[in-house]
Amino acid sequence: DIQMTQSPSSLSASVGDRVTITCRASQSISSYLNWYQQKPGKAPKLLIYAASSLQSGVPSRFSGSGSGTDFTLTISSLQPEDFATYYCQQSYSLFTFGPGTKVDIK
Amino acid sequence: EVQLVESGGGLVQPGGSLRLSCAASGFTFSSYAMSWVRQAPGKGLEWVSAISGSGGSTYYADSVKGRFTISRDNSKNTLYLQMNSLRAEDTAVYYCAKDREEYCGGDCPADVWGKGTTVTVSS
């Protein structure tokens, strides 16, 4: 089974900050890496698929990069509505989510 | 509008059974693989099961294999999850989700999610 890790597990940031979240797979998953945003009490929302493709309707301040085992989600300028938990997910072999990264207000 | 609405959650005793349903609308249901994902209270997301558009292929997480069965009725645009031999650790909000692309070969992310239904396993 493919295991996913994320770092940090949580971070505090201010509006306007550049935020970077890292995701690592236990084996190479090529570019089969997706990112989701989840707010409390809500369903997850797809942000990035195939490591770097922006889902329709998602603001361009979100971007993804990486391949193989190491991936990054970047928010270029954090907005108030971006405070949430972010999950990576591999879809190379079935599906596995990372443990999540909670982004809260500094 | 693409919509997924889960139902069937509730309180069940350990060892009991429950069947979840997910009613889909706004898209050609039979063209899309579907998944169930769960989230235990205060915890992260866990993929549970997936099924191809035709229903001919099914996939399960090791944690539910042999206890849960995913199925679909394309004539009713409905996805199901039959859960047997339930355990306390199955307590979670269960989400159904639609593949982002038609006829995807099992590696597509989910682009539409329902609001979830809550399953509580407790005596």
Q: What is the pLDDT along chain B (123 residues), one digit of tens a residue?
A: 999 999 999 999 999 999 999 999 999 999 999 999 999 999 999 999 999 999 999 999 999 999 999 999 999 999 999 999 999 999 999 999 999 999 887 789 999 999 999 999 999
Note whether A6 and A22 are within 8 A (CB).
yes
What chain B residue is nearest to A99 in terms of C-alpha separation?
A: B44
B61 to chain A nearest CA, in Å? Answer: 8
Q: For B59-95, give the DSSP string.
A: EE-TTTTTTEEEEEETTTTEEEEEE-S--GGG-EEEE
Query: What is the reported pLDDT for B56?
Result: 94
In A, residues 9-38, which contact B (CB 8 Å cutoff)?
32, 34, 36, 38
Q: CB-based contact (8 Å) between A1 and chain B?
A: yes
Q: What angle do CA A85, A3, A38 make, to 5 degrees?
A: 15
Residue B68 backbone phi and psi in degrees, to 5: -110, 150
Note whether A81 and A16 are within 8 A (CB).
no
Query: What is the reported pLDDT for B104?
Result: 82
pLDDT tens for each residue of A22-47: 999 999 999 999 999 999 999 999 99
Residue B105 backbone phi and psi in degrees, to 5: -85, 30
Across the interface, of A45, A92, A99, the residue whose CB is closest to B107 is A92
Say how far apart CA B109 and CA B118 lie, in whole Å: 23
Radius of gyration for chain B, computed over Cα atoms and rounded to the nearest angstrom? 14
Query: What is the reported pLDDT for B116?
Result: 98
Query: What is the reported pLDDT for B30?
Result: 96
Residue A100 backbone phi and psi in degrees, to 5: 100, 150
Pairwise CB contact (< 8 Å): B37 & A45: no
Q: What angle do CA A48, A52, A54 make, to 5 degrees?
A: 45
Tokens of A33: 């890496």
Question: Cβ contacts (< 8 Å) between B50 and chain A: which residues?
Answer: 94-95
Question: Cβ contacts (< 8 Å) between B107 and chain A: which residues?
Answer: 32, 91-92
Q: What single DSSP character describes residue A94?
A: S
Give me the percent of chain A exceeding a pLDDT of 90.
98
Q: What single DSSP character describes residue A55?
A: P
Say how far apart CA B86 and CA B119 lie, in whole Å: 10
Question: Cβ contacts (< 8 Å) between A86 and chain B: which residues?
Answer: none
